[in-house]
């Protein structure tokens, strides 16, 4: 399972995290808005949950790749 994460190119994860993870840039990025809604307990609508997964996918994959590469190098 970890092999496919290692095969993802760094540039794709960085560009995806910066664009989709932070879009729209004004007035507040969707990911920040949805995470704050999650902590406030107001994330109920299906479109909001979908937005959280959509805008959070690349940042989560980017963090997973950092963890996998770091663990592999420490062995």
56 within domain boundaries: yes
Number of domains in the chain: 1
The answer to whether residue 4 sits within a structural domain is no
**pLDDT tens per residue across span 14-64:** 999 998 888 887 788 888 888 999 999 998 999 989 989 988 999 999 999
CA distance 46 to 53: 11
What is the domain range of residue 50?
12-74
For residue 44, whether the previous peptide bond is cis, meaning omega lies within 30 degrees of 0, is no
The structure's pTM equals: 0.83
Assigned token pair, 18 = 């910066």
* d(C-alpha 65, C-alpha 22), whole Å: 19
Angle between helical axes of 10-19 and 46-74 (0-180°, round to 10): 150
Task: Tell me the chain's radius of gyration from C-alpha atoms.
Answer: 14
- Domain annotation covers residue 33: yes
């Amino acid at each position: 399972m970890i092999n496919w994460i290692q095969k993802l190119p760094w540039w794709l994860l960085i560009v995806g995290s910066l664009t989709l993870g932070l879009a729209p840039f004004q007035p507040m990025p969707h990911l920040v808005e949805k995470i704050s809604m999650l902590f406030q307990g107001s994330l109920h609508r299906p479109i909001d949950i979908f937005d959280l997964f959509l805008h959070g996918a690349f940042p989560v994959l980017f963090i997973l790749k950092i963890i996998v590469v770091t663990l592999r190098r420490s062995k």
